[in-house]
Amino acid sequence: MKKTLKKFQKLVAKNFFMNPQTVDFSKSFSEDLRLSENEFIALIAYTENAFHIQIADNELPKFRRVRDVVKYINANG
């Protein structure tokens, strides 16, 4: 899980110009990382490409925090 988190942190930091350390396991995408809805959708596309997975649209509302996406990647990647 730590390896996945590190890779995800780098992905977010690179694409949204953030310090990777701010992309903590407990951070929310909208409140803490301040991603807009469009930025979040772009993040999902980047994540699918980087981890070679497909994320179903009905899964997206479940992704409120970094941990939700990391757990999903580990379970489906």
Concatenate the DSSP letters of all residues of 23-72 into one string: S-TT-BTTTTS---HHHHHHHHHHHHHHHT----GGGGGG--BHHHHHHH
The confidence score (pLDDT) of residue 22 equals: 92
Architecture of domain 2-76: Orthogonal Bundle (1.10)
Q: How far is CA 26 from CA 2, 40, 44, 52, 53, in A?
A: 13, 16, 18, 24, 22
**Residue 72 binned pLDDT confidence (cut-offs 50, 70, 90):** very high
Q: Which of 33, 29, 31 is nearest to 19 (CA)?
A: 33
| This prediction's pTM | 0.90
pLDDT digits (tens, 9 = 90+) for 11-49: 999 999 999 999 999 999 999 999 999 999 999 999 999
**Residue 77 binned pLDDT confidence (cut-offs 50, 70, 90):** confident
Longest alpha-carbon distance in the chain: 29
Going from N- to C-terminal start, the domains of the chain cover: 2-76
**Residue 1 binned pLDDT confidence (cut-offs 50, 70, 90):** confident
d(CA 40, CA 16): 10
